[in-house]
């Protein structure tokens, strides 16, 4: 299990150190620079540099400095903390049929949260309007304003072009194509909020890696199995997004060349046999046309033999592709999330079986397979961690507009 762990490349080391310091402040409430050095194992000079940077970013306050400037000469003993006044972070998660919004303080403690069933694919404009409306609601509940936001992260179930911030596929989210969701959202809020837009599976990957099933993993493959099948890939501690933001489209690898036509236009993609739609088709004649993806997962969890069989078979199909991916990437951890994944899902039994059969023994021996622990909040929590832990990138690529 620990075989794949290694030191990160220098670029991500600085960010990891930053996150470590923020984590230490989160768990301790307040600490001196010396405390932080002890807790994190980082050198005093590294801590000192990071704290200067974090104070500059408005994430950390120096209490001694704030209370009584000049009176406290002992810099090393000064008490540092994350302050509410430093701001709040917002995360928005668009699924194909839902919208979730969460507001958190800078210690990632959720202040308010909303969920709405909405046809996200059908109308981008209506979905963005709803996101702005829910944002106003969570801000009001937390007695904050849009000016308190240090940034926002938005997850979308499709590839995002990193260079332009636009939705990159004409077939996966047709009504969103060419749209700049970050600008559209900031415009609706009427404030220059920096918005990071990312693929939903990528945000869920960060969520599980920071708060859930994969804490400490450096080479992680997270698979979201819900309406569609998407993967997030963490390599050396960093998300691998690919040139056009399309990395991790596991649902569209070939499963059966003679199979059904997929929504992407290709034939026999993994999604055509293991996505929610074909699985529901297998069960609806017995459980009725109203059966939902969540309902199917609950049936399997409660021991329904048919539902378990369907999920195990889907897991075998997904595991077949994951075996190839694992042979190539050599992950230390694979986490299965989404409505059909999660701890205890029968899907994981099928995946384990195929991994064992089709991946190299050395790969199988060094990878840990588990279900996601954060459920359908993984995307929101990953989004929040991206905003809180990544303000340097946020400030260098602010995409908001002022009305």
Q: Would you tell me which residues interact with Zn ion (CB under 5 A)?
A: 252, 262, 264, 266, 269
| First-residue to last-residue Cα distance in the chain | 51
Supply the minimum distance, in Å, between the C-beta of residue 255 and Zn ion: 10
The residue among 1 and 254 lying less far from Zn ion, judged by its C-beta, is 254
The residue among 269 and 340 lying less far from Zn ion, judged by its C-beta, is 269
Supply the minimum distance, in Å, between the C-beta of residue 271 and Zn ion: 6
The residue among 167 and 262 lying less far from Zn ion, judged by its C-beta, is 262
Q: Are 354 and 319 within 8 A, CB to CB?
A: yes
The residue among 163 and 254 lying less far from Zn ion, judged by its C-beta, is 254
What 8-state DSSP symbol labels residue 357?
A: H
Supply the minimum distance, in Å, between the C-beta of residue 248 and Zn ion: 13
Q: Are 184 and 134 within 8 A, CB to CB?
A: no
Supply the minimum distance, in Å, between the C-beta of residue 229 and Zn ion: 10
What 8-state DSSP symbol labels residue 191?
A: S
The residue among 5 and 263 lying less far from Zn ion, judged by its C-beta, is 263
Supply the minimum distance, in Å, between the C-beta of residue 173 and Zn ion: 14
Q: Give the C-alpha separation, 263 to 229, whole Å.
A: 12
The residue among 109 and 324 lying less far from Zn ion, judged by its C-beta, is 324
What 8-state DSSP symbol labels residue 228?
A: S
Supply the minimum distance, in Å, between the C-beta of residue 261 and Zn ion: 9
CA distances from 385 to 39, 91, 382 (A): 20, 9, 5
Nearest alpha carbon to residue 315 among 331, 334, 332, 328: 334
The residue among 264 and 282 lying less far from Zn ion, judged by its C-beta, is 264
Q: Give the C-alpha separation, 378 to 287, whole Å.
A: 29
Supply the minimum distance, in Å, between the C-beta of residue 253 and Zn ion: 8
Q: Give the C-alpha separation, 96 to 376, whole Å.
A: 13
């Amino acid at each position: 299990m620990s075989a794949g762990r290694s030191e990160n490349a220098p670029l991500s080391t600085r960010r990891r150190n930053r996150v470590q310091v923020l984590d230490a402040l989160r768990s301790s409430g307040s600490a001196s620079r010396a405390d932080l050095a002890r807790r994190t194992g980082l050198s005093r000079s590294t801590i000192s540099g990071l704290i200067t940077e974090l104070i500059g970013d408005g994430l950390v306050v120096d209490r001694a400095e704030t209370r009584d400037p000049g009176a406290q000469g002992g810099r090393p003993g000064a008490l540092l903390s994350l302050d509410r006044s430093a701001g709040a972070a917002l995360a928005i998660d668009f699924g194909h049929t839902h919208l979730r919004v969460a507001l958190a303080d800078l210690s990632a403690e959720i202040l308010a949260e909303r969920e709405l069933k909405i046809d996200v694919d059908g109308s981008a404009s209506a979905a963005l309007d709803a996101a702005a409306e829910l944002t106003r609601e969570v801000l009001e509940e937390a007695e904050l304003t849009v000016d308190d936001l240090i940034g926002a992260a938005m997850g979308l179930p499709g590839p995002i072009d990193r260079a332009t911030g636009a939705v990159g596929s004409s077939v996966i989210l047709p009504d969103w194509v060419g749209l700049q969701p970050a600008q559209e959202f900031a415009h609706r809020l009427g404030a220059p909020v920096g918005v990071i837009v990312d693929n939903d599976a990528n945000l869920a990957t960060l969520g599980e890696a920071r708060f859930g099933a994969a804490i400490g993993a450096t080479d992680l493959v997270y698979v979201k199995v819900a309406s569609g099948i998407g993967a997030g890939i963490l390599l050396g501690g960093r998300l691998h997004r690919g040139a056009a933001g399309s990395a991790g489209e596991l649902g569209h690898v070939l499963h059966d060349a003679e199979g059904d036509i997929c929504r992407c236009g290709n034939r026999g993609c993994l999604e055509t046999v293991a996505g929610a739609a074909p699985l529901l088709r297998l069960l609806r004649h017995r459980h009725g046309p109203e059966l939902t993806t969540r309902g199917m997962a609950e049936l399997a969890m409660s021991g329904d033999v048919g539902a378990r069989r369907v999920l195990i078979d889907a897991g075998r199909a997904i595991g077949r592709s994951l075996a190839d991916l694992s042979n190539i990437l050599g992950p230390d951890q694979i986490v299965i999330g989404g409505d059909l994944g999660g701890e205890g899902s029968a899907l994981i039994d099928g995946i384990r079986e195929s991994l064992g059969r089709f991946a190299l023994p050395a790969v199988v021996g060094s990878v840990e397979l588990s279900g996601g622990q954060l459920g359908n909040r993984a995307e929101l929590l990953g989004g929040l961690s991206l905003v809180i832990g990544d303000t340097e990138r946020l400030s260098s690529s602010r995409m908001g507009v002022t009305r």
